[in-house]
Copies of this chain bind each other. A is one copy, B any other.
Amino acid sequence: MTRPVARPETRTDTRPVTRRQKTSADLSAQIAAAIRDAIVSGELIVDARLPSEAELSAQFGVSRPTVREALKRLAAQSLIRTQRGATGGAFVNRLSYAEAYRQQITTSTLLLSMNEVDFETACEARYTMERACAPLAATRREAEHLARMHSEIARQQEPDLTDSDFCASDVAFHRALVDAAMNPVLSYQLAGAVEAMQPLMNMITFKAPYRETLIALHMRIADAMERQDANRVVACLDDLQSETMALSRKAMAQRASLPRT
């Protein structure tokens, strides 16, 4: 990882340098890739300290600003953290679930908002994934998960809750369901997906009568979870998906009938 990268024209030495695939890529990108490779390959382990910026610039044969740009790229992906001071430097970060989770939500949210994923596709994906962890969740749920579900149901019944708050509570409810599966990988993947879809969900408004329908289904889900009745949880999720899709179709039709802004 500490070899000089390919320089297009200024090469004066004759040592064999490992040219990166894209010779046209920025030096900072090449250096970032080299360090990233060293991290993912295990050459640099967690909490290992990278050479100082001055050393890196000497080793790669580039200036310090270029090295810094590379380090900032890695910092943006949470692969490293930097610390000032005498014993400071750049250290390999342990990628925590929380951090990965945050990044995944950011990426997914952007992806959905930039690619005009229609509501039905997102909704189908969300409930499909949730149904998948229902059996595990029903079996393994603990008192804490049931408590979270009930507290969210209570919140959803507050009459002067805004639409987006209702939506957020809905997300929290379903996140409790996913967490009940007691599998961190599932939580990471599914809860991230559910949360990323919140902006889409926010596009439809939840009027009072529909809220009651959803709350009733949430109650049935909580009950079934308490009785560890997986099949019933799945059936309720099916109903919830149908209701949500019907609601969205109604909202879309209403929006289409209005004059364009």
Contacts and interface: CB of A to CB of B under 8 A. Distances in A.
A82 to B, nearest CB: 8
User: Copy number in this complex?
Assistant: 2
Interface stretch (A52-60, A113-121, A201-209, A240-248): A113-121
Nearest to A126: B185
Interface in A111-133: 111-115, 117, 121-122, 124-125, 128-129, 131-133
Contact of A121 (B76, B133, B185): B185
A96 B72 CA distance: 23
A100 interface: yes
Given A77-B76, A183-B121, A46 B114 contact: yes
Interface stretch (A6-14, A101-109, A157-165): A101-109
Given A65-B65, A77-B77, A129-B132, A95 B107 contact: yes
A156 interface: no
A190 B133 CA distance: 13
Contact of A73 (B72, B104, B184): B72
Nearest to A125: B185
B95 A110 contact: yes
Contacts of A77: 76-77, 106-107
A69 interface: yes
8 contacts: A73-B75, A73-B76, A95-B114, A100-B107, A103-B107, A124-B186, A125-B185, A125-B186
